[in-house]
Amino acid sequence: MKQLPLVYHKKILVLGLAKSGTAAAEILHDLGAFVTVNDSKPFEQNENAQYLLSKGLTVICGSHPEDLLDEGFSLIVKNPGIPYTNPVIAEAKKRGIPVWTEVELAYRISDAPMIGITGSNGKTTTTTLIFDMLEAGNKLPLIAGNIGTVASAVAEKATEENIIVTELSSFQLMGTEELKPKIAVLTNLYEAHLDYHTDFKEYTDAKFNISRWQDASDWFIYNGEQEIVTAYADKSEAKKVPFYVSRKTKEGISADNSFVYWNGEKLFERSIIALRGKHNLENVLAATATALLMDCSLESITKVLSTFHGVKHRTQFVREWKNRKFYNDSKATNALATKSALEGFSEPVILIAGGVDRGHSFDELIPYLSNVKALIHYGETAERLQSFGVQQGIPSVVRVSSLVDAIEEGVKLSKEGDTILLSPACASWDQYESFEVRGDEFIEQVFALKD
């Protein structure tokens, strides 16, 4: 772990704990900073605060005192979930106090080079693919960031021989000042998180922070088919590698219906890719380009691509049963995500959908319904989905009361060669506490099917 003279014997405030704040506070303490942690959760119920107090840190819990910043802090490290409209953060900005998120700390202390991945969709799948390819290529990767492992805790233990593969959200990237991945990946940009960001530009500007401080010694891999992404790529000082999923190109990495190409030369046949869907081809191309730049062998790359069936709950292949394939895409909480899933299937599909009714339109699905032989739906959106399915002429539209009933009905309606796809196009909260719990239920019920 690199030392940070700028924090040594300086007063640092860590705002918000959870995993990232706790790790950052402990690391800053070990680097010689005088650390104060402030968390809204009461001390009696706050195991992280109790632990940090036992380590000798100053702990303030239960509220954010108005005079908190009068201690003369030289830096604030905040939990990514705390918005910049928070009164403490807003006042810190007025006073000129730098505000980081924990990934900035991770970058500054890391002895290992970093690969950073961001985008509106595909971050987790791309991150996982890159990690698996580097591991297959014996590159000693470590995985970190928004995928579930605190980046600073990983960076603290990393050596120069490691590579840290880091999934980065807009929340995390907004609080960076020097973060400079060796390879940065921007998968795509769509409207998201506008309840956190003031507008779409603030959101996309935050995403571009992944490449903002790169230079000519670094690489920027980006979606060459999205105008908004290419406009940001024009601002990057890094060497650029665009990817294209719909045509062969002479630059970057691209694909047509038959092959994947590297700078216009055939790399491998598309048929080896186990992942389904055009959206997943974006992830595959971005990951493959990253692995090639890190000197992974083509053999190690294709080995991963031929066996990788998806991240859990993201168009995840679950099981083949009586010549029927089951896919879990519970992460698809809106029509755009379900559209992307449907785009990947040419065989007959039985679509299971439904959940919380947030008033979103399902019209984006219309061009991708030609091979949907049945729509089985449940939850708050059942009435709207019933009308939608009938209007679009789907041969069988069936309303049921639960996901368990939907699976049972799907099996009844299916024939050999069909795919049964859970891709709800809705949030889960009417019947499940999260899309993960919903997806786990689907997996459990599918594996419970008897031969």
User: Residues comprising the binding site for ATP?
Assistant: 119-125
H helical segments located in 55-148: 87-94, 102-109, 123-136
b vs e for 125-146, b when ≥16 Cβ sit within 10 Å of the residue's Cβ?
bbbbbbbbbbbbbebebbbbbb
Exposure pattern of 193-212 as b/e (b: 16+ CB <10 Å)?
Answer: eeebbeeeebbbbbbbbbbb
Residues written for the chain: 451
SS3 content of the chain, % helix, strand, coil (to 5): 35, 20, 40
Residue in the structure block whose two tokens are 């089985």: 376
CA distance 363 to 389: 11
CB-neighbour burial class of residue 84 (10 A; exposed 0-12, middle 13-18, buried 19+): middle
Indicate the pairing of strand 419-422 with strand 349-354: parallel
Binding residues: 119-125
SS3 per residue for 168-208: CCHHHHCCCCCCCCCEEEECCCCCCCCCCCCCHHHHHHHHH
For the purposes of burial, counting CB atoms within 10 Å of the CB of 440, is it exposed (0-12), middle (13-18) or buried (19 or more)?
middle
